[in-house]
Amino acid sequence: MEFGPHLMLAMLEGLVQASVLTLTALGLSLVFGVMRVVNVAHGEFFMLGAVLAWWITSMLGGPAAVGFIAALIVAPLLVGLLAGAADWLILRRIDYDPERTIVATIGLLYIIQQVTLMTYGPDAHPVAPPFNTRLALPWFEWGENGFQMYWPWGLSTTSYKLFVIVAAIVTLIGVWLLMAKTKIGLILRATQLDSEIAQAFGIPVERIYALVFGMGAALAALGAVLVVPIQQAHYLMGADPLLLSFIVVIIGGLGSLRGTVVAAVLIGMSDGIISVFFTPTLAKMLATLLVAMVLVYRPQGLFGAKAA
């Protein structure tokens, strides 16, 4: 493939990747920002979103669009409720102690993964996209009549992939509006700034924590429902999103939503582009190297608050 079309394909693939990664990482970042705890089971909530999407669509049957819309609403809701329950039953009782939370969420990771293996099974199952047409993309070349459009061999995307990008942007705007313009967003920001003072003002901090934990998981599940018609639902699919989300949150800055979004786009695009031109392994190596550099030279991340 010539370089121009090749780059365009790489950027499109990177955008799809970045879209899903943004949603997933945002969930992790929200949890860390407000609750100051690390959720190692975050990838499993992502996987649950995909598995539940398959379950909902196969239970409903009928046209793919109906099942998909139902999955888009119900799966994140169910995952959010499960996460909220996990927070209420487990994390609250260990007082959100950082080390204990890491251990507890590792345990949660294994429980969720193995229960899924025992019920859903070891195979991958597909979910039909609500719509999917191949879109051949044009490229330009300088011909005798000036700029001419032509359709290079293999340069294409699908309507569904474009939908994923749009859906991610819409969700991001929704989350931003929630955080910046609503009362609940105000409460969340207050709890993030100083949870003790927030409690003194009558904010039920523990319930807010359960809500935030649920919201974080629901965002990951939403990302998974969007990506599952492209990939398939498999019980081990949570491992890669977990790793990438952590990379994004560290590079973007713990607790900064803006940093998460910027870093997710950066990592998603570079992963996509390097994977297309070189190999996926090299892409992961470079992403991990970037994390190491950030931790050494700018530990608070790109947009994080500098430690006093």
Name the residue with tokens 């994004």: 248
Q: Is 231 an interacting residue with respect to another protein (CB under 8 A)?
A: yes
The binder of another protein chosen from 205, 219, 247, 276 (CB under 8 A): 276
Contact string (CB under 8 A) for another protein, positions 149-188, x = contact: ----xx-x-x------------------------------
Residues near another protein (CB under 8 A), total? 29
Q: Is 301 buried (19+), middle (13-18) or exposed (0-12) by CB count in 10 A?
A: buried
Reading the block at residue 74, the tokens are 């119900």
Indicate the angle between helix axes 3-35 and 159-181, nearest 10 degrees.
Answer: 30
- 232 touches another protein (CB under 8 A): yes
d(CA 111, CA 278): 36
Residue type, 240: D
By CB under 8 A, residue 63 contacts another protein:
no
Report the interhelical angle of 205-227 vs 183-193 (nearest 10°): 110
- Binding map of another protein across residues 124-143, x = CB under 8 A, - = no contact: x-x-x---x-x-x-------
Binding-site member from 63, 121, 138, 299 for another protein (CB under 8 A): 121
9 is an interface residue for another protein by CB under 8 A: yes
Q: Least distance in Å: CB of 275 to another protein?
A: 4
Q: Note whether 264 binds another protein by CB under 8 A.
A: no
Measured from the CB of residue 162, what is the shortest distance to another protein in angstroms? 13
Beta-sheet pairing, 134-136 with 156-158: antiparallel
Piece of 6-14, 24-32, 69-77, 252-260 that binds another protein (CB under 8 A): 6-14
CB nearer to another protein: pick between 129 and 255: 129
CB of 132: closest distance to another protein in angstroms? 7
Decide: is 22 part of the binding site for another protein (CB under 8 A): no
Contact with another protein (CB under 8 A) among 117, 166, 178, 305 = 117
CB 42 → another protein: shortest distance, Å?
A: 18
The dihedral region occupied by 123, where left means phi > 0, alpha psi between -120 and 50, and beta the remainder, is beta
96: left (phi over 0), alpha (psi -120 to 50) or beta: left
Q: Is 141 helix (H, G, I), strand (E, B) or coil?
A: strand
The nearer residue to another protein, 26 or 227, going by C-beta atoms, is 227
- Rounded to 10 deg, the angle between the 3-35 and 42-60 helix axes is 110
Evaluated on CA atoms 45, 50, 55, 57, the torsion sign reads positive
H or E stretch at 302? none
Q: Shortest approach of another protein to residue 237 CB, angstroms?
A: 7
Q: Which of 101, 66, 53, 112 is nearest to 233 (CA)?
A: 53
When asked if residue 25 is in the footprint of another protein (CB under 8 A), the reply is no
Interacting residues toward another protein by CB under 8 A: 1, 6, 9-10, 13, 117, 121-124, 126, 128, 132, 134, 136, 153-154, 156, 158, 230-232, 234, 237, 240, 272, 275-276, 280
